[in-house]
Structure 1
Amino acid sequence: MAEEQISVATHGYTEDSIRSLDWREHIRLRPGMYIGKLGDGSAYDDGIYVLVKEVIDNSIDEHVMGHGRTIEIKISEDKVQVRDYGRGIPLGKVVDVVSKINTGGKYDSKVFQKSVGLNGVGTKAVNALSNYFLVQSVRDGLMKSAEFSQGMLTSDPKPQKTSQRNGTLMVFQPDDTVFKNYKFYPEYLENQIWNYVYLNAGLTIHFNGQKYYSEHGLLDLLSRKADPESLRYPIIHLKGEDMELALTHGNDYGEEYYSFVNGQYTTQGGTHLAAFREAIVKTVQDFFAKSNKVKRYDAADIRASIIGAVSVRVQEPVFESQTKTKLGSLNMGPDGPTVRNFVIDFIKEHLDNFLHSNSATAEALKKRIEQSERERTDMAGVKKLANQRAKKANLHNRKLRDCRFHFGEGKHEEEAETTLFITEGDSASGSITKSRNVQTEAVFSLRGKPLNCFGLKKKIVYENEELNLLQHALNIEEGIENLRYNRVVIATDADVDGMHIRLLLLTFFLQFFPDLVRNGHVYILETPLFRVRNKKTTIYCYNESEKQAAMRQLGRNPEVTRFKGLGEISPDEFGKFIGENIKLEPVILQAERSVQQILTYYMGKNTPARQEFIIDNLRLEKDLVISDVLPLAEVPEEDLA
């Protein structure tokens, strides 16, 4: 029996089974190893933005080393162009640096002491995953170019004389067979550009004709991200040789952090952010306990409503993935202190000195902490009862149809795409439940319109059973660090009631869990409004213009069905819309508009700005299509003034 099992196990496993892939084949076969998830551009960390970042990072590193103060970036629907004015790639290595793994100048630590990209992979991945890729270097009157397609060299002319300034140009078009139905969201690109200029003093970036420049670094970042009217005290800005931080408190619930390493936005934090959060708490506790002789404040009260940014520069940083979204380094450099000790010591010294020197800021901080303490104490009783009810309700039964994998468990690749669909009514939830992927997709069913949370205190979340069950299903009661689903998808009918439920849910998230939206976890599910078909072909259409085009394509008298609600779509059909070709519209908070501005505009009582907007944009019913409805946070800026 044992011999038979061995025979079966080894059958077909010969020398011919072993394959050696060249660099481009491996990148194209396993792109996730190099750029994370592929996506379609609807999430800020989708692959197409990683491609953009990898190219810009090289130009940033040139600037950091003192070469080139301007970068020009042009991004259209399908093409990215980045031109810097640094030293230019050595002409004899132009082809190698974008087509040979482990080739680059950053292995010489004397040249690039604290750069972002150190592994020689970035631009090679961009090259391999692009239909068209151009690299062009100008050095001392000579220009050398090379063109590629999917990593294969297609043009390699000899250097030519030129009058252009020194520097490097890279142009690429993402491969549409890898990045299916992708599109660039301007908000994500703009945030990337702003982060680069905040972290690099003296750098000017021209992006699609607009100039981006920052004079005060992280102070400018928080000034742009936070609503000045809601800040409890002026932004604290501290800067040293290898560290910079900005800190303040607002009125929104949750914690809001922006962390960076060597100019890289570490969206998942890491050792530097953990040390930053720890050091802020300890320094503030010690300051007030000693100077004002008050009790030591609770860490949760100090961090409540905090808005902070931290940037460190580390020699030879170690990240936990190729996309560099989480710092794994324990030390500042080969012979340097630990990251944790460096950050804690810096904050302990500089923040403590600042608070002693700025008594008005210290007093305002004290009042904000004590307000959070009162709110927490007031909520303690109802919170305990609500949590007991939630435990008895059995989340895996009545409201939530759970999935097998959960975001953040760190055991399975599937966790990155775990999704919770929030639906209205039994019919819609039934269709999604029957057609979903039970490994990664869960469903939470609402029984009707949820409570309007605008202007309410967080205590109401515990008093309202449905909202309490929803926060427990997401596991965000104490913050989003333990969020169970990477994507929270609002799936409502495309009618007036569905739009209202959508707005009420967004109000709930923005009022009490704004960092869930800020971190790109909330989406709107787009489902087709029409089905156009004949005996041979079926076409699903998402708006009126697509319907008209489908009718022309199918010829005479096609059958046209208008889906009035999600419950009318059969489970078999629904599976086509929530699978590989799912259409999700991200909910994006534009940095220039605060949460309270947005909520007041949409949910405030008869605001004049909203009345004027409705009148100015009124449509007759026969002219109205769903694409005319503005997503949240996309109202013209003048209407929020």
Structure 2
Amino acid sequence: MLSTLIHCPYMLSHARNSSRRSIYYSIARLAQHSNVTTSQIRLRSDGCKRVNRKTDWHFSGFRSFSSQLVVENEDTEPSLHKSVEEQYSRKTPLEHVLLRPGMYVGPVERSPPSSCWVPSPVPEKYDFSADFRRTSIQENGGHYRMKSREYGLIPALVKIFDEILVNASDNRLRHPKTCNRLDVKIDPGSTTREPRIRIWNNGKGIPIHVHKHEGIYVPEMLFGHLLTGSNFDDNEKRLTGGRHGYGAKLTNIFSKSFSIETLDARRKKSYKQSWYDNMTRASDPEITSLEAPAEDFTCIEFSPDMPRLTGDPSALSIDDQDYVVMCRRVLDVAGCAAGNLQVTLNGQDVSMASFGEYCQMYRSENAPHVLFNKLNGRWEVGIGLSESNSFDSISFVNGMATPRGGTHVNAIVTQVVKKIQDKVTKNDAELSSILIPGLIRRSLFVGCNTLIENPTFDSQMKEHLTSNPSTFGSSWTLSEAFLNRLVKPQEEGGPGIVEEVTRAAQGRQQANLLKHVGAKKSRRQLLSIQKLDDAHSAGSESSLDCTLILTEGDSAKALAVAGLEVIGREHYGVFPLRGKFLNVRHASFDQLSKNAEVKALVAILGLDFDMEYATIEERQSLRYGKVMLMTDQDTDGSHIKGLVINFFRHFWPNLLKPAMDDPSSQPFMSSFVTPLLKATMKGKKEVLSFYSMAEYDAWRSTFDSPEDVKKWKIKYYKGLGTSTPSEAKAYFSDFDRHHRPFHWNSELDGELLDKVFDKDRAADRREWISEEYDATASIDFDELDTSITYEDFVNKEMIHFSHADNIRSIPSSIDGLKPSQRKVLYSCFKRKLRSEMKVAQLSGYCAEHTAYHHGEASLQGTIIGMAQDFVGSNNLNLMVPSGQFGTRLVGGKDAASPRYIFTHLAPVTRSLFPDDDDVLLDYLEDDGQMIEPKFYCPIIPLLLVNGTQGIGTGWSTFIPPHNPMSVVDYIRAKLDNQAKLPLIEPYANGFKGKIERREDGSGYVSYGIVEQLNKKTILVKELPIGVWTDSYKSHLVKMQSKGLIMGLLEDHTTTKVSFKISLKPSQLERMKQTGFEKALKLTTNLPLTNMNAFDADGSMRRFFSPEDIADSYFPTRLSLYEDRKSVLQSQLNHTSALLKNKGRFIELVAKGRIELLGGKTSKEESYAKLKELNFQTSNELEEIRTNNSLRKKRPADDKTFDEDVATPGSEFDYLYKMPLSSLTTEKIAELNRDVAKAETNLKEIQQSEARELWMTDLDKLASHL
């Protein structure tokens, strides 16, 4: 038996585990590179297990000080008859390379196919015999894209090509000023000619000089003798790859012919030399002295020894697979040297402008973009979203490809993973336990081109860098700006990595959810579900015939249970939903696993997350074959319907579609509708039912006059609980009329549902509402077919909720109020609320007088919010807070119960909303009742003063608060037509910190106040706007738990902030260098990039600056002053005429020309007499009163002007109904004085301009600020 004994000088029994692994790995590598094809390797040592080379290594322990590796060739006879000299021999280095090529250039046989990047299309091959003298370069030849292919390569062939290519590329690093071109020509050969490769580069050539110690020319020494080179000085900081002295010599050894030509301009010499037969023969050098100046260059040309490299004696040419990989390596060099080196391949210019251009070759045309960061002269990094759902990296070290990455790639990826981990966790803290680095890595595409000093690799193949990062020789820290760009949302220019990682983490979380939520429950367990009234046949053989009625709350369940008296309980069950159902589409694991409704619904229906329910057979496993939604008929009820439908669309989309094996089967989803309003003709039994506001409004519009509507009694059914048990039985008795099955029409139905409920599709929702919303739209029902398509449900029902959601979430740019705030203000004005009233009582009054159709608790929260005056709430509170209305400790959430606190109008409120405006506003109407106006119009844009934030459907808004005096000054400047208008700056009343504008103009930043008391203590005296005391305390407590601060002492009140923080001197110094505000998170952004509000026409509008809001508001308010002036004139004209008529009437009665007490004249004769005397009738006076610009804008039946005016009973009742006490000279004098006063006021109004009226109001307001 042939045995090879290798001594290991390590003391294995005392070596560390890591050292042992290194020894075992080295032994394995040695065995791998050996030519023994069938062998067993064992370590002669106690406790060693006998293992095959291709299996994992197993060692149970070592006690000897040395071990022996024995390679036993079982295919040969024992070497007992060989002499010692025959058994043991010594090889020259060249012979050893040829004998054991795997140790130096890798395997010399074709490897099994594996994934490999190659350029597409395949670059044109070069033919030296056909075009040997071609020197011109074809421009724009390098339009390639890398494709992944399954190729089996000859590693040794690619390696010897790479040695020469990298050498040429290294010359650019050594001599960047002179090396700017690299030409590569690859002729794969054919059956009639050998393959040939030529690599030429300019830049400094090889010194044509006889080496003093070796006695040969340097080119011959470098290319014809092993263990020679320029990289043996480990103290020298070099940026090239070679270090062992093999390099280009390996190419020579594995070539049939190898030649070098170089020019040494300094010595004015050229050099040529060739080698043959695997570097065993060499020609004499040809040295030529140059007379004319010439530029340095080096050219290597060789013919690979294909039989030796492939193990196939008949191999003559380079296979296409190896050829295309060589071409890719040329493109690699072009990418690494992009912008600095012209690279040609087979006569085509393949140069690139940047490393980023190179990386894009690995991306599809529609791939998310890659972000690039050039750290310094030695690092270029590109980070993007992986397209393969696995970690993709393209990396290079000193121009050498490292397909297996290494420490350089890990150094970059570690930083990226940490940043993404922090960002995703910040967005959704519940994902933190799932966000392991491996999950994030799988979403990354990394391009890395770096120069490393004295790099080390795990093998001569140099595919994996092993250098310790501390020895890289340069900084690899990615800039914070670059990392911030990486984690930006995709819609803001980010690469989409955060979104993909979030989806992956949520998917893994979802998988955990399926195990947690989807567990089957027994009948007994189902009965324990609170408030479930289970159908008798649920879960039986007839379960497909069973319907689960899902109601909106307990009161709706009572209505459904009353209906069960009609339809029975055999096939109908009832379960109430509490509040809004969860939008499961982006819900976290904790949200889903802890949501009682979701867990209950899954259990009641018997849903299985692993089932698709596409067929009747699959649906027979359900406990209920149908679900019927029974919600209120208002927009919130529509939203609940949509959320439940979304639940099934997300987890079991097939349930919304007809069964594949029975398309005619009854739909799984349906709804049961009840009237939203009922109209009863007064004095008659006729009752009309309306199932939506749009349907009711359409009916109202058929009347010629509002007086006709008043002949009907309108009842609004806020919720299902409004219906009586008898009405419930009536609904279910006419079941088919009220039952609305949902019909799946096409995939457009699903697309619409996704658009409405996917939080990432806000832009699509904006477009949907803008294009589709029609206030009059409602679903039309066929008497014979009452089904609803999902498309109609979304576009004609759900859209009303979405619009209403925006109306109540986003304010008007004119008054800065949302509808609920407007209702509160209207109620206070109507009640003239100047004395204290309980918040709970005011909310009731408001609901009654403004037709508020929601819960009073919501109104109470609105009232409290309008009265709050702590730092960060209102700059101008419209209500007075009398009691505990909340503090900055928790942002106002610590307000007392509405039953215990009082409020009334603040003095400044009527200065903002003058009484004279009341008659000018456009008031809304609900069921014949006049309610709040469409919008108020304060004398300054209140939206800027108090700011706002809100989230609607498709839109959201954030507008920071501003200084009211700044707003006043801006309006004054516009009224004065000043050329340069002042800026309106953000401001918070009572805030002591600073607010600075961002350099990019996108908004402002507010800063808290921190003061250093000594070397160990700092004091936080103010928090940034919007940060509350208790939440900031939680932040500091977390810092303390992590050891970032040492101690914390609080000394604040409800209005003052005081955190005394203890630190180590070193901690304090680091914070000081970083900046206290940044280190302690004492800043908040006040962006100006999402300022959305409704304009005067009721359209959503985006504003780009505070001044933009003021400019939009300005003409509306100015127009109101024009109307106010016109109305005041008509009112004063009316007053003057009325008083004059009364005064003259009293005079004529006193003179006896008009007889009142004699009883000699009839009423008709008296009225005729007054007309004869030119007294004006009531109608004539009314015409004077309404002769103004506002009346011309309003319909004839508008009652706004009549609110405080008594309707006259006849033409002259206003005279005859004066008391007898008025018939005195004193009354005449009083009337004359009032006439003079009215005419004086009228003259003043006529002479004044609208702008002057506005200025006067601004002066009054300023006195309150």
Structure 2 length-normalised TM: 0.27
- What does 1:190-201 correspond to in 2, within 5 Å? 190-201=327-338
Report the equivalent of 2:223.
98
Q: SS where residue 394 of structure 2 aligns? A: strand
1:442-498 CA deviation, whole Å, 9 max, x = no partner? xxxxxxxxxxxxxxxxx99xxxxxxxxxxxxxxxxxxxxxxxxxxxxxxxxxxxxxx
1:228-286 CA deviation, whole Å, 9 max, x = no partner? 4131x553434324322101114432221112212211112222223333332112112
Matched, 1:229 2:366: yes
Q: Which runs of 5+ in 1 are unaligned?
A: 1-7, 385-458, 461-641
Measured in 1, the distance between the counterparts of 2:487 and 2:402 equals 31
CA contact (8 A) 1:134 1:148 kept: yes
Q: SS where residue 214 of structure 1 aligns? A: coil
CA contact (8 A) 1:288 1:294 kept: no
Measured in 1, the distance between the counterparts of 2:199 and 2:500 equals 45
- What does 1:161-560 correspond to in 2, within 5 Å? 161-162=289-290, 165-179=295-309, 180=312, 181=315, 182-185=318-321, 186-201=323-338, 202-217=340-355, 219-231=356-368, 233-289=369-425, 295-296=431-432, 297-333=435-471, 343=476, 346-347=477-478, 349=480, 351-355=482-486, 360-362=492-494, 364-378=496-510
Measured in 2, the distance between the counterparts of 1:358 and 1:176 equals 53
Measured in 2, the distance between the counterparts of 1:249 and 1:136 equals 45
- What does 1:54-65 correspond to in 2, within 5 Å? 54-65=163-174
Give the drift of 1:88: 1.3
1:590-618 CA deviation, whole Å, 9 max, x = no partner? xxxxxxxxxxxxxxxxxxxxxxxxxxxxx
Q: 1:206 to 1:383 in 2, by over 3 A?
A: farther
Report the equivalent of 1:153.
281
Q: SS where residue 310 of structure 1 aligns? A: strand
Q: 1:373 to 1:236 in 2, by over 3 A?
A: farther
Measured in 1, the distance between the counterparts of 2:164 and 2:103 equals 17
Measured in 1, the distance between the counterparts of 2:423 and 2:249 equals 50
Q: 1:367 to 1:200 in 2, by over 3 A?
A: same
Report the equivalent of 1:613.
none
Give the drift of 1:332: 4.5
CA contact (8 A) 2:172 2:180 kept: yes
| Code of the aligned partner of 2:207 | P
| Code of the aligned partner of 2:412 | F
Q: 1:350 to 1:48 in 2, by over 3 A?
A: farther
Measured in 1, the distance between the counterparts of 2:249 and 2:205 equals 17
Measured in 1, the distance between the counterparts of 2:326 and 2:514 equals 43
Matched, 1:80 2:158: no
1:130-170 CA deviation, whole Å, 9 max, x = no partner? 11111122112321111111112331134013566311111
Matched, 1:123 2:255: no
| Code of the aligned partner of 2:297 | G
Measured in 2, the distance between the counterparts of 1:177 and 1:317 equals 33
Does 140-149 or 40-49 show the bigger shift?
40-49
Measured in 1, the distance between the counterparts of 2:305 and 2:398 equals 29
Q: 1:157 to 1:367 in 2, by over 3 A?
A: closer
Q: 1:319 to 1:300 in 2, by over 3 A?
A: closer
Q: 1:354 to 1:367 in 2, by over 3 A?
A: closer
Q: Which runs of 5+ in 2 are unaligned?
A: 1-77, 112-150, 189-194, 209-216, 517-608, 611-1265
Q: SS where residue 466 of structure 2 aligns? A: coil
Match of 1:30 among 100, 103, 107: 100
CA contact (8 A) 1:304 1:372 kept: no
CA contact (8 A) 1:244 1:310 kept: yes
Measured in 1, the distance between the counterparts of 2:447 and 2:230 equals 30
Measured in 1, the distance between the counterparts of 2:404 and 2:425 equals 32
Measured in 2, the distance between the counterparts of 1:172 and 1:327 equals 29
Measured in 1, the distance between the counterparts of 2:390 and 2:223 equals 42
Measured in 1, the distance between the counterparts of 2:367 and 2:94 equals 50
Measured in 1, the distance between the counterparts of 2:237 and 2:436 equals 42
CA contact (8 A) 1:320 1:328 kept: yes
Q: SS where residue 411 of structure 2 aligns? A: helix
Q: SS where residue 225 of structure 1 aligns? A: coil
Q: 1:249 to 1:118 in 2, by over 3 A?
A: same
CA contact (8 A) 1:94 1:136 kept: no
| Code of the aligned partner of 2:108 | L
1:491-537 CA deviation, whole Å, 9 max, x = no partner? xxxxxxxxxxxxxxxxxxxxxxxxxxxxxxxxxxxxxxxxxxxxxxx
Give the drift of 1:380: 6.0
Measured in 2, the distance between the counterparts of 1:312 and 1:148 equals 34
Q: 1:45 to 1:302 in 2, by over 3 A?
A: farther
Q: 1:136 to 1:184 in 2, by over 3 A?
A: farther
Give the drift of 1:16: 5.8
Q: SS where residue 350 of structure 2 aligns? A: strand
CA contact (8 A) 1:37 1:46 kept: yes
Q: SS where residue 359 of structure 2 aligns? A: helix
| Code of the aligned partner of 1:257 | S
Measured in 2, the distance between the counterparts of 1:383 and 1:24 equals 64
Q: How many residues align?
A: 370
Measured in 2, the distance between the counterparts of 1:47 and 1:155 equals 26
Q: 1:332 to 1:82 in 2, by over 3 A?
A: farther
1:200-239 CA deviation, whole Å, 9 max, x = no partner? 231111110111212221x1222111114131x5534343
Q: SS where residue 369 of structure 1 aligns? A: helix
CA contact (8 A) 1:259 1:273 kept: yes
1:325-366 CA deviation, whole Å, 9 max, x = no partner? 1112124539x58xxxx64xx137464354488882458433
CA contact (8 A) 2:181 2:201 kept: yes
CA contact (8 A) 1:238 1:244 kept: yes
Q: 1:370 to 1:60 in 2, by over 3 A?
A: same
Report the equivalent of 2:270.
143
Q: SS where residue 131 of structure 1 aligns? A: strand
CA contact (8 A) 2:205 2:298 kept: yes
| Code of the aligned partner of 2:324 | E
1:374-429 CA deviation, whole Å, 9 max, x = no partner? 44345568999xxxxxxxxxxxxxxxxxxxxxxxxxxxxxxxxxxxxxxxxxxxxx
Q: 1:128 to 1:252 in 2, by over 3 A?
A: closer
Larger radius of gyration: 2
CA contact (8 A) 1:234 1:248 kept: yes
Q: 1:275 to 1:333 in 2, by over 3 A?
A: closer
Q: 1:197 to 1:370 in 2, by over 3 A?
A: same
| Code of the aligned partner of 1:34 | Y
Structure 1 length-normalised TM: 0.52
